Structure 1
Amino acid sequence: MITYAIVDDEPIAHRIIEGYCVELTHLHKIGNAYNVFEASEIISKHQVDLIFLDINMPKMTGFEWLKMLTKPPKIIVTSAYKEFALEGYQLNIVDYLLKPFSFARFLKAVNKASIVNLDNGFKSVAISDNVKDNRLFLKGDKMYHQVQIDQILFVEAYGNYSKVCFEENSLVTHEKISGLENILPREQFLRVHKSFLVAKDKIEIIQGNQIVIGKYKIPIGQTFKAKVNSLLNK
């Protein structure tokens, strides 16, 4: 479960974000703040994992407030001004949503906030000690499917799409393989070919230029061979 708060001086922005969050059962709202002073009160009284933060607000901007926090929650910026995006990423925000944003774009940002990405210093706000909380939503067949990350065997590139394979079935999603590589936790998944991303703990056999996962044989690309060899106990 991810706890979140909305910090924005525009009531309509609260309604839009709340409407999107209702569709995501793993999100739980803690509070609404219409300025950074109300936001400070919320995070002082409650455990807040994620904040949807506007920039331009009365008396103090969202970024000025963020710089004051010693241990800020994960931040997804929601702003009508694209020129502040670079500053946002320098403050280690998770994502920068430019208003007006679609549900699909919103969902992508929430997925990024929900998954561990050690290379970028993001700590999961969704993954607890219980692996069942390790999940994300993927769009496929005009629907959003909630999938368990620990059940993914591998991902195969399908042009501008990707096929996510499980033990019993598969899902063709609108995400490119490069996007899923950035979203999925890198300590669990390894790119072994330009067209394949595999779950490390699902690998059964590494032989020559192939990886065997159940009934599947996955090629190892020449440029990825060193990374695959690093898995071997030598």
Structure 2
Amino acid sequence: MISCIVVDDEPLARSLLESHIADVPFLEHLGSFKNALLAADFLTKHQVDVLFLDIQMPKLTGIEFLKSLRQPPKVIFTTAYREYAIESYELQAQDYLLKPITFERFFSAVSRLKTPGTNQQSDISEASETTLPAHIFVQVNKKHIKVILQQIKYVESIKDYLKIHTVKETLVIKERISHFIEQLPKDRFLRVHRSYIVNQDHVTAFTQQDIEIGQIEIPIGGKYKDHVLGILKG
């Protein structure tokens, strides 16, 4: 079971999330709170795996609240505002749900959560470094399509979608880049920018500012620069 709480100043929003949580067998709802201060007090006394956290709240915003926590639980932001998406991802939020939140979108987000109780993130990272899957399946509309990992040249993020550029075609899926890279072998795929992942096997040249894959130039983001150049230079 994954324990969770809801933090939102809107009664209807809290009620909707409580209903969604009740419909998911592996979620355990521990409580709902109308502001971050009440939630903070609860967290000092209880172990919580996941916060469903609104952003625009009185006195303390969801982002301010998350930054104040020394060892925060996993967080799924729930908000009516798109403009906080980039900041939420930088805070390593699990997902960013726009209101009104459908059950389908909610279930997609919670299905990605790791089972609590063990260091799952560490386990996943170690596994991805030693296990090299030959392919993954991605959902395009209602169809699950096999993608051979070696054929992926690079992945491009555009708002809520990803373009997967392969040697044969370009597939468009609805997915977050931070979630997608978790499915890829870390010794071959490299995030070089907040909007780009590259397959090192297809890199034909690089400079201090960009990477070339054939005729395509992909920028290297400032926060990724040292790591990316260190990897590419070997």
Give the structure-2-normalised TM-score: 0.55
Return the alpha-carbon distance in structure 1 between the equivalents of residues 33 and 13 of structure 2. Answer: 11
Distance 1:26 1:183, change over 3 A: farther
SS in 2 for 1:45: coil
Aligned 8 A contact 1:76 1:94 in 2: yes
SS in 2 for 1:55: coil
CA drift of 1:155 comes to 5.5
CA drift of 1:73 comes to 0.6
> Which 5+ residue runs of structure 1 have no aligned equivalent?
115-123, 132-153, 165-175, 192-222, 225-234
Amino acid at match of 1:37: L
Identity of aligned residues (%): 39
Distance 1:158 1:35, change over 3 A: closer
Question: Is 2:4 the partner of 1:4?
Answer: yes
Return the alpha-carbon distance in structure 1 between the equivalents of residues 37 and 184 of structure 2. Answer: 38
Aligned 8 A contact 1:78 1:96 in 2: yes
CA drift of 1:72 comes to 0.7
Q: Which residue of 2 aligns with 1:200?
A: none
Amino acid at match of 1:84: Y
Distance 1:16 1:184, change over 3 A: farther
Moved over 3 A (4+): 154-160, 176-188
Q: Which residue of 2 aligns with 1:162?
A: 144
Question: Is 2:11 the partner of 1:29?
Answer: no
CA drift of 1:78 comes to 0.5
Q: Which residue of 2 aligns with 1:103?
A: 103
Distance 1:71 1:26, change over 3 A: same
1:119-158 superposed matches below 5 A: 124=114, 126-128=115-117, 156=137
Return the alpha-carbon distance in structure 2 between the equivalents of residues 55 and 111 of structure 1. Answer: 22
Give the structure-1-normalised TM-score: 0.55
Q: Cα deviations across residues 32-63 of structure 1 (Å, max 9, x unaligned)?
A: 11111101011111100000001111111111
- Superposition CA RMSD, Å: 3.8
Count of residue pairs brought into register by the alignment: 156
> Which 5+ residue runs of structure 2 have no aligned equivalent?
121-134, 147-171, 189-200, 203-234
